[in-house]
Amino acid sequence: MTTVKVTKMQGCGNDFVIVDFDEYKKTNLPMDTFAQKICNRNFGIGADGLIIPKTDTKDTDIGWYFYNSDGSTAQMCGNGMRCFAKYVFDNKLVNKKEFSVQTLAGVIKPELLDDGMVRVNMGKPILEEAKIPFRGLKTLIVNGREFDITPVSMGNPHCIIFTDEDPMPLAEIYGPFIEKHEFFPEKTNTEFVRIIAPDEMDMRVFERGCGITLACGTGACASVVAAVLNNLTENKVKVNLLGGAVFVEWQGSQADTQKDVFLIGPAEYTFFADYIL
């Protein structure tokens, strides 16, 4: 029997198990297998993803290993990054409130704000189709229904669909099919978005490797970028998710897409525990 110390955190209901690397090593399991086991909501702790801090980076203050609940890796996760930032600062793995993190999507820079929120510089959106990656048309047909789509990458691929309908049933019905659509060779997160006002939207997401989740930070960022590019919103938008709200700011435009995207939202502890393998 092996006991591993774990921390459970959530950002707008998007929840994560965080395990220090030395604790993870006790398991003698591959990281993807450990992620599947510990994220299982019936036989494990239950989470959308597993995060393990990586302290031996050379060109950044810290790094991470990030796994979805199905054991797949993700290039980035905005809600996970906010939780990670709070965790590593509180546990003195970094000694400053603004720092750099090495991820599979490149260097990400979170900042802990005085009001308890976390602001993350998510970097520049990727709109070049080959780099998203996206190979197809901007009109997608799923089960006989046609959708106009805007593909965007925030280090991981997103398919944004704007609608006047309740976005939740659409995410539930069509999300699983779009995730694996041939237009997206590395699969995709799918966001259904309803514009409420020039500075507010509702978003529901079917996440690649997770399914329906309460929140998706990179999805919120990608949705605001897509909305600005389609002249649907202003540059700073409140994004209402199932688990709460985040704020996204992007000063880009069709004429200048090379602006950083900023994500602001909460990060909260849920519990600390000993997990028995």
Model pLDDT, residue 272: 98
Residue positions annotated with a catalytic role: 77, 216
The pLDDT score that the predictor gives to residue 1 is 86
User: Is the distance from CB of 60 to CB of 101 less than 8 angstroms?
Assistant: yes
Contact between 264 and 226 (Cβ < 8 Å): no
Q: Tokens for 36? A: 């599947």
Which two tokens mark 248?
């996204």
pLDDT in tens for each of the 277 residues of the chain? 899 999 999 999 999 999 999 999 999 999 999 999 999 999 999 999 999 999 999 999 999 999 999 999 988 999 999 999 999 999 999 999 999 999 999 999 999 999 999 999 999 999 999 999 999 999 999 999 999 999 999 999 999 999 999 999 999 999 999 999 999 999 999 999 999 999 999 999 999 988 999 999 999 999 999 999 999 999 999 999 999 999 999 999 999 999 999 999 999 999 999 999 8
Give the percent of the chain with pLDDT over 70: 100
Domains in the chain, start-ordered, CATH in brackets? 3-113+267-276 (3.10.310.10), 129-259 (3.10.310.10)
28: Cβ contacts below 8 Å, ≥ 6 apart? 2
Question: pLDDT tens digits, residue range 74-124?
Answer: 889 999 999 999 999 999 999 999 999 999 999 999 999 999 999 999 999
